[in-house]
Structure 1
């Protein structure tokens, strides 16, 4: 077993790291934005680099998602950058977040029983 300790409520198997560029973030609101994102359920680590305008965050994808972070950004008048690469990454992140949520909610059945309908 691993000795890694996570924030309460964050499962190591569902833990993902995301790094995306932002647009529309002023210097004065960066700290408030990061602290607001840290308050989200399932969020473990949040960091913002003003030099590259990059937001790096680690969260439990069964509890939180990229779209939840986007809502917080929109409330501050900021958002994810609209570059092609950022949009491709956002689509992939949404896909994997949904898969993790679906897998976390799945109730497996025994192989020796007939399938549930």
Structure 2
């Protein structure tokens, strides 16, 4: 796949796939919640499985993070499921998202590169 196979704002190198179990999701708030999440910049795909109340997300971790998505979930009256496994996955996802964002902003350097101005001197 290339970056052209994704929505605007999503790069293949920064794409992450997440799934979290939600609670307090009803038929009344599900459509509005998914529409708001789907329109966020950086979201590639978003879907909701009603049988096990799980939201599936694919997004660019440099443009959006899980905290922003959680704010939208709470705005619509839903919540991240309150159990040990979901909280563990959530914290791991946040750690990896932050790591991806930090690495994307990092400017690489090399200790083998000579300092500027130490190259060959012009002949006189």
TM-score normalised per structure 1: 0.90
> How far does residue 110 in structure 1 lie from its aligned partner after superposition?
3.6
Structure 1 counterpart of 2:47: 47
In structure 1, distance between residues paired with 2:79 and 2:39: 18
1:80-99 equivalent positions in 2, closer than 5 A: 80-99=80-99
1:1-117 equivalent positions in 2, closer than 5 A: 2-3=1-2, 5-111=5-111, 112-113=113-114
Greater than 6 Å deviation, 4+ residue runs: none
In structure 2, distance between residues paired with 1:63 and 1:113: 35
Gaps of 5+ in 1: none
In structure 2, distance between residues paired with 1:66 and 1:22: 13
In structure 1, distance between residues paired with 2:110 and 2:84: 44
State which drifts further: 103-112 or 87-96.
103-112
Question: Secondary structure, in 3 states, of the residue corresponding to 2:58?
Answer: strand
> How many residues are paired up?
113
Question: Secondary structure, in 3 states, of the residue corresponding to 1:102?
Answer: helix
- Cα 1:37–1:108 change in 2 (3 A) is same
Q: Max radius of gyration: which structure?
A: 2
Gaps of 5+ in 2: 116-124
TM-score normalised per structure 2: 0.86
In structure 1, distance between residues paired with 2:48 and 2:100: 25
> How far does residue 17 in structure 1 lie from its aligned partner after superposition?
0.4
